[in-house]
Structure 1
Amino acid sequence: MPIPGPKSESGNASKADLKGSQVDLQKADLPSIYQALNTSPQGLSQAEAETRLQRYGPNSIQEKEQSALLKFLRFFWGPIPWMIEAAALLSALIGHWPDFAIIMALLLYNAVAGFWQEHKASNALAALKASMAPQAEVLRDGSFHTIDAADVVPGDIVRIKLGQVVPADVRFVDGKSISIDQAALTGESLPVSKKIGDIGYSSSIAKRGEMTAVTIGTGRNTFFGRTAKLVAGAGQGASHSQKAVTHIGDFLIVLCLVLALLLVGTQLYRDIVVAPSWHWSDIINILRTVLVLLIASIPVAMPSVITVTNALGALALSRKKAIVSRLESIEELAGVDILCSDKTGTLTKNQLSLHDPKLFVAKSPEQLILAAALASEKGSSDPIDQAIFAGLKDKKALNNYQLKEFTPFDPVIKRAQAQVVDDSGNSLFYCKGAPQAVMQLCKLSGDNEKKASDCVQELAARGLRSLGVASSNDGKRWSFLGILSLEDPPRDDSKQTISRAREHGLQVKMITGDDVAIGKEIAAQVGIGQNIYAAADVFTDSENMDHLSKQVVDCVERADGFGRVFPEHKYAIVKALQERGHQVAMTGDGVNDAPALKQADCGIAVSGATDAARAAAAIILTAPGLSTVVDAIDEARKIFERIINYVLFRVSMTLDIMVVVVFATILFGFSPLTPVMIVLVALLDDIPIMTIAYDNTLLPKEPVHWEMRDLLLGSTIIGIFSIAQTMGLLLIGMEWLQNSQWQSWIPLDKSQIQTIIFLQIVAGGHLLLFVVRSRSAFFAKPLPAMKLFIAIVGTQALTVLMCGFGWLVPAIPWRIIGLVWLYMILWMFILDLVKKLLYQRLQDI
């Protein structure tokens, strides 16, 4: 780590140290560190600390905020907003103020809804900043003072005690030992014991002991700060959902422009060439016709319906113990085909337990475990001590011994030791620690030494941690009692969940900070493949994590998992898989996971995750285990199916309205729908269909994606037959106007023909939704949800009443309404047959 130099004009730290030399503060000896930082074991003066604070900046993570106004204005930029804005402008130019008001209201609603959902999304950098240690004990002017952690500077001497958060990157300089939980940073599942000279990372937590340390890095120039920088640069920009809506908008804009040119060209040809009677006032009529076409071409409520459907889907996911922080992540989750899962607490119980003990001098497993318990600290939060006490069957046996002296685990000699007195008054000594250290203490040799070494190697190969245990009567001559093995066992449901995930087209990769051997052992138990690599062997220091070589990407795609993973490795794994076209979900719980969680298509913060992980994630789980993730994916696929059904319906209906308006105007010289009718169509079609979020759907067995080619092709084909349905009814209506016999039976005029088309568009549109929502016959199971059914039936009744009584539209006879309904029901069966043939054809491609 280069020494953090003074801030430049841009606010970034330079690489020059106080004396202008370069020193690796993570590896240099302590005298060199003191010299490079111009400090000493007596710490800094307050004046010097304030000077350094001005030069290096605060010990915090600062990010550049985009203004709320700019975020809001972004929702007025894009294909669909442009179409809505153009329609509003044209309405204002020709004085159609009611249309203008309705269109602007829909535009504002879309923008406000999108902005509000984005505003609610958590800010990952803010959470990272908030998780910094709020206070620190520093040595200033010869005595320790408690200050804000943000005021810690390079060269400060800090004191770190049990339960405190390490305020910056430090090197320990004094004290017996300290145990640091840095799992949230490095992914290691156990606290790490530190000795003089070792490094401590910012935001890790002291679990045992007390030491003083010299600060070598603050703010962004820390392990924690580099993670925050990765988070700031992570993310893919627009989601697949946003890209899909953009594609749909582009498709409709192009079609609208083509139809508008055809319509305007035809009108001008008639007015100038065929019957020369051109007047500038005719431009108003042309603009009015173009306005009708433009309004017809805009799926004004599509963003709103998708937002509401996702929001209601998020509520359903919450019942599955999955909280959605970004709505578009639901669609991302539905398309996930690779799930990168952390090990500890997700695949495993995150609770160490004793495995089969290996006996040497000890006569029974209970004797061995009791000896280890006597060499442990009662009430300790250390996971190893807790596992030993939990494995002791007769806990009352401890009452037979009185503790005289306890020496905590010393990272130098790698063992803990206790002196006790038994009921007979005999003084006894027990120790536990690293097997090699305990073997050396017992002076094992020959066959016993080989047996113990082979045992340790065998346990390590199986991914188990070893713990040597010994006893002594005088504290000088020690007997090697045996070896305890510890494991973090898999969750009871992990193997079944992974099997279920594979049945649903998901590939699961294990990503862990533990050793490869441990990863392989757990992978074997839960049914993940054994192709587990050490991350450092795959991602070398020369690798650019944003531009990985083909060999590395190939390896990541083939691998079943990675061990000894650091934050940049997790980030690179996600990037590599995305380069190959995979949609990736990444689970995590710590600060070290935040960059990968944000970069992933769907980051998932597991139960008990840190604030930073939850803020970077799109989905936050409130129940432990991988089964919750698979449940959430299943629910997301159902939600996605509902959205696809809506989009298929909406695009088909938009094509129907656009083409009918243009060709009716060209062929018959009048628009079959007025601007008000088109706005009413949008309201009556889309508002009740928001209840599609509750619809019953089949669960897709494979990941689902925005297949734009198939979606637009299917929408176009169904749209063409919908056009045939509407044009057929319009032709019958125009014939009706010319047929005196029909007119004498039920007289109609052109305005009533418009009402008939309005009825067919609204009611026929809802019947079309019933057709497209099912992949088989529209009357087959799953049947429509009751809420959707009631909403549509209610809208149908309202539309019939509007047409029968003349509310907002010219009234038509009830007998005509009945005939139109018979016509639509007949076409419903025709459209259903078209749909089934279409799906069959698409599956064969």
Structure 2
Amino acid sequence: MTSTLPTLTGLTDAEVAQRVAAGQVNDVPLRSSRSTAEIVRANVFTRFNAIIGTLFVVILAVGPIQDGLFGFIIVANTGIGIVQELRAKKTLDNLAVIGEAKPRVRRGGRTVAVSNSEVVLGDLVELGSGDKITVDGEVAEAEGLEIDESLLTGEADPVVKKPGNPVLSGSFVVAGGGAFTTTKVGHEAYAAQLAEEASRFTLVQSELRSGIDTILRFITYLLIPTAIGLILSQLYVSRSDVKEAIRRMVAGIVPMVPEGLVLLTSVAFAIGVVRLGRRQCLVQELPAIEGLARVDTVCLDKTGTLTEGGMDVEELRTLAGGGRQDVEHALGALGTADSRPNASLQAIIDAYPRAEGWTVVEAAAFSSARKWSGAELRNGSGTVATWLLGAPDVLLPSGSPTLTEVDELGAQGLRVLLLGRTPTPLDAPDPAVGLVPQALVVLRQRVRPDAADTLRYFERQNVSAKVISGDNALSVGAVAASLGLPHAQDPMDARQLPRAATEPEGLADAVEGHSVFGRVTPQQKRDMVGALQSRGHHVAMTGDGVNDVLALKDADIGVAMGSGSEATRAVAQIVLLDNRFSTLPLVVAEGRRVIGNIERVANLFLVKTVYAVLLALATIIFQVPYPFLPRHSTVLSGLTIGIPAFFLALAPNNERARPGFVRRVLRFAIPAGVIAGTAAFTSYMLARANHATGQVADTSTATLTLFVVALWVLAIIARPYALWKLILVAMMGLGFVLVMTVPWAQNFFQLHLEGWRDPLTGALIGVVSGVLLEIVWRYINIGLPLLPSVKARRPQE
């Protein structure tokens, strides 16, 4: 293949070695995740670990080891969190290496692909359409080179680059080709720090985590005055027994801390990353898992998403005045004019090899904005003419008879390109002036075999799919209709869309009202995503080409194909490395599982916090010994929250996440916690009124009541039931029975029921409270995602 570019040889091997020795390499590390030290630090040095750790040290100083069990549980939980996140880190790092773009550098006259970290100062880096520029430099060769710097400057229009012009890291090539000499590498590059931050595996900017942080901050503020009040009241009640007062103060404080909620959130996200990694799905930003769970609209680029990247020439139709041999020779020469051909041009290259005698004088690479490519070609007889290849409805005036033929072909799902000849120079403002149509190139696209099933999945999940493409609207509509996309028979030409700047409401109406759009420019894709977001939609955008970059960046979630351009992979939050569109439903399902289950188990932890606060306040007001010792809280928390929460957090869950996490959780947790705390304290006070029993028996009765209510809460949260959930609830109940009946367990945990009256009273109060929980739950939570089975029984909602 010939090229109009001058030939530069680049650095020699000796020069490369010299620069490596001098440290002049692009040594910005690939950061797909937090470092090991950051993971350990984030899991160990937490606000609640500090609180629990301090209380653990206090208990070791004043009480038996049984009352310090909660400290060992925290150590175990922290260890689990570290191990799970390290597993996620390993998965992400391995996938990041697989998915990393490899720049092509010219060294000693040979082009070699190297990793980003192997680029050195002064390297000659080759560029083609879709390439992301990772280091700063100066253009050395240019052939129709257009670079988009919008991610750096906000300016949407591509910038034409000539030799001598600077290029900045963080920009990407939208048209043409060339090469540049690196002038800044590593941390000196303009966008190196921004790129490093943007590519980190992060836990921030998540509604779920911000909601949990809000709850935890409130609990922290509540802990200090409650602890002070509790210790003073217990000192007053216990008089001279300071150790007993401290033990019961600790027993009151520890249950208020929902330490396992933070752990389970990290573990659920980490396991989600590992599961997706096994599917060759690279999660570049952790909140993407949560974001996909909230998606209600998916915008799909047809090429590379619904269809595979490759195409085949179906037919070549010459038009009046077009000689077949000249047409084939021109197509072959146009193929040599672009060093980085797209799928359409590659199909033409495969079908029509370059003819002898035809040479390229000047070339203009394909641009998504203008919808054509072209070249000034010299034929075998020496005649120079401009040939353009592109969208017929862009190159031809409206009303042209040829467009009727194009529409008929497009309605069959075929892609049609027009080859035309014009006397207008290629560098004229409008080279299409005077264009004489020569031929129609009919291409057949390869539809992905999994596309139809994936679209049906989204339809079942009430997720709207919008096909947005730069191709002819009728052709796109035919492909989408063949895959069963609803309303695909009514495609819309994007050139008829209202402008976002002047008619934003009209644009939003049009985008919401149609499923298929053709002839969409890159800026229009961005505007359409914004229009959907303005109507409250949570939008995911998929794509693989540079024309998708702006929309991918603005969408709530950007999903890129692994075979797509470097630029799309760089801005997307999720990359499907195996290019399987069918992986997307698995990603959505994983996000829903993670978010839905965290919301589910958050109820368990916060119910405990609420009843712990209530019990502490009641103890202070009534000036009685706190009902429980730390060991009792450990038993209750372990059997009704800690152990079952780990299983529930990993269960299947297909409900779409919705905003309002904190409000929904508190609507159930507060009344349920009040019921549980009231029941336990009532049972405790009634037991204390029986002077024939001691403190151990009174505590045991209160523990029985609280366990019954807490187990009932677990039974509610676990719905809808599956066999394993019923077994889980039953096993937790059996565990408590063993603690209360096995002699060594009774002694170890200091639990022993005396007589029949108090235990029966405590059990009855627990059952009555459970019934009250059912009433409250049905009043508050019917139709909420917590219980999809109830929603299913009420289809009118």
Name structure 1 gaps, 5 residues minimum.
1-29, 35-39, 187-193, 272-277, 393-397, 421-426, 439-444, 471-478, 540-549, 739-747, 775-781
Equivalent of 2:258 in 291, 299, 303 = 299
What's 2:56 paired with? 88
Deviations 1:16-54 (A, max 9, x none): xxxxxxxxxxxxxx9xxx9xxxxx979899999999999
CA contact (8 A) 1:694 1:788 kept: no
- 1:468 correspondence with 2:438: no
Instruction: State the distance in 2 between where 1:234 and 1:680 align.
Output: 36
Deviations 1:80-124 (A, max 9, x none): 345424433543564666645642651563366157516734469
Deviations 1:507-541 (A, max 9, x none): 556677x5897998799866587485899x979xx
What's 1:759 paired with? 704
What's 2:733 paired with? 796
Instruction: State the distance in 2 between where 1:645 and 1:152 align.
Output: 51
CA displacement at 1:666 relative to structure 2: 5.0
CA displacement at 1:835 relative to structure 2: 0.5
What's 1:812 paired with? 753
Instruction: State the distance in 2 between where 1:111 and 1:581 align.
Output: 40
CA contact (8 A) 1:354 1:486 kept: yes
Secondary structure of residue in 2 paired with 1:350? strand
CA 786–815 in structure 1, closer or farther in 2 if over 3 Å, else same: farther
Secondary structure of residue in 1 paired with 2:106? strand
Instruction: State the distance in 1 between where 2:441 and 2:356 align.
Output: 24
Secondary structure of residue in 1 paired with 2:307? coil
CA displacement at 1:762 relative to structure 2: 3.5
CA displacement at 1:246 relative to structure 2: 1.4
Higher-Rg member (1/2):
1
CA contact (8 A) 1:84 1:295 kept: yes
CA displacement at 1:715 relative to structure 2: 0.8
Instruction: State the distance in 2 between where 1:196 and 1:793 align.
Output: 75
- 1:750 correspondence with 2:728: no
What RMSD over aligned residues (CA atoms) do the two structures have, in Å? 6.7
Instruction: State the distance in 2 between where 1:305 and 1:117 align.
Output: 11
CA 332–611 in structure 1, closer or farther in 2 if over 3 Å, else same: same
CA 503–340 in structure 1, closer or farther in 2 if over 3 Å, else same: same
- 1:659 correspondence with 2:659: no
What's 1:710 paired with? 664
Percentage identity across paired residues of the two chains: 20
Equivalent of 2:601 in 646, 653, 662 = 646
* One-letter amino acid of the structure 1 residue matched with residue 730 of structure 2: V
* One-letter amino acid of the structure 2 residue matched with residue 411 of structure 1: A
Instruction: State the distance in 2 between where 1:202 and 1:299 align.
Output: 44
CA displacement at 1:714 relative to structure 2: 1.9
Instruction: State the distance in 1 between where 2:736 and 2:9 align.
Output: 84
CA displacement at 1:242 relative to structure 2: 2.0
- Superposition pairs for residues 259-274 of structure 1, below 5 Å? 259-264=226-231, 266=233
What's 1:482 paired with? 439
Instruction: State the distance in 2 between where 1:703 and 1:67 align.
Output: 30
- Superposition pairs for residues 500-579 of structure 1, below 5 Å? 501=458, 504=461, 506=463, 530=492, 532=494, 563-565=520-522
Deviations 1:174-221 (A, max 9, x none): 9xx899999xx99xxxxxxx9999999999999xx9988766876689
- TM-score normalized by the length of structure 1: 0.64
- 1:333 correspondence with 2:292: yes
Name structure 2 gaps, 5 residues minimum.
153-160, 365-372, 422-435, 785-790
CA displacement at 1:289 relative to structure 2: 2.8
* One-letter amino acid of the structure 2 residue matched with residue 103 of structure 1: G
- 1:110 correspondence with 2:78: yes
Deviations 1:224-249 (A, max 9, x none): 96983783699783422321221222
Secondary structure of residue in 2 paired with 1:303? helix
CA displacement at 1:712 relative to structure 2: 1.2
Instruction: State the distance in 2 between where 1:737 and 1:334 align.
Output: 56
What's 2:628 paired with? 673
Secondary structure of residue in 2 paired with 1:672? coil
Instruction: State the distance in 2 between where 1:318 and 1:226 align.
Output: 26
- Superposition pairs for residues 579-594 of structure 1, below 5 Å? 583-589=538-544
Instruction: State the distance in 1 between where 2:771 and 2:172 align.
Output: 67
Instruction: State the distance in 2 between where 1:234 and 1:722 align.
Output: 39
Secondary structure of residue in 2 paired with 1:351? strand
Secondary structure of residue in 2 paired with 1:411? strand
- Superposition pairs for residues 158-237 of structure 1, below 5 Å? 171=139, 173=141, 228=195, 231=198, 237=204
What's 1:682 paired with? 637
CA 371–241 in structure 1, closer or farther in 2 if over 3 Å, else same: same
- Superposition pairs for residues 26-105 of structure 1, below 5 Å? 57-59=24-26, 61=28, 68-76=36-44, 79-91=47-59, 94=62, 99-100=67-68, 102-103=70-71, 105=73
What's 2:426 paired with? none
- TM-score normalized by the length of structure 2: 0.67
* One-letter amino acid of the structure 1 residue matched with residue 753 of structure 2: I
Instruction: State the distance in 2 between where 1:557 and 1:75 align.
Output: 47
Secondary structure of residue in 2 paired with 1:301? helix
- Superposition pairs for residues 819-838 of structure 1, below 5 Å? 824-838=766-780
Instruction: State the distance in 1 between where 2:64 and 2:38 align.
Output: 30
Secondary structure of residue in 2 paired with 1:344? coil
Deviations 1:274-315 (A, max 9, x none): xxxx6xx55544433321111121123223334444556567
CA displacement at 1:768 relative to structure 2: 1.6
What's 2:722 paired with? 785
- 1:387 correspondence with 2:347: yes
What's 2:673 paired with? 719
CA displacement at 1:336 relative to structure 2: 2.9
Secondary structure of residue in 1 paired with 2:740? helix
* One-letter amino acid of the structure 2 residue matched with residue 792 of structure 1: V
CA displacement at 1:751 relative to structure 2: 0.8
Instruction: State the distance in 1 between where 2:753 and 2:546 align.
Output: 66
Deviations 1:571-610 (A, max 9, x none): x998998899765544455799899879876554445467
CA 619–677 in structure 1, closer or farther in 2 if over 3 Å, else same: farther
Aligned residues: 725
CA contact (8 A) 1:516 1:532 kept: no
What's 1:251 paired with? 218
What's 2:311 paired with? 352
Secondary structure of residue in 2 paired with 1:792? helix
Instruction: State the distance in 1 between where 2:457 and 2:374 align.
Output: 43
CA contact (8 A) 1:360 1:481 kept: yes
Secondary structure of residue in 1 paired with 2:210? helix
My pick for the range that moved more, 645-654 or 87-96, is 87-96
Instruction: State the distance in 1 between where 2:269 and 2:564 align.
Output: 24
Instruction: State the distance in 2 between where 1:619 and 1:129 align.
Output: 11
CA displacement at 1:684 relative to structure 2: 2.3
Instruction: State the distance in 1 between where 2:166 and 2:358 align.
Output: 26
Instruction: State the distance in 2 between where 1:227 and 1:590 align.
Output: 22
CA displacement at 1:800 relative to structure 2: 0.5
My pick for the range that moved more, 366-375 or 60-69, is 366-375
Instruction: State the distance in 2 between where 1:798 and 1:264 align.
Output: 31
CA contact (8 A) 1:113 1:307 kept: yes
What's 2:207 paired with? 240
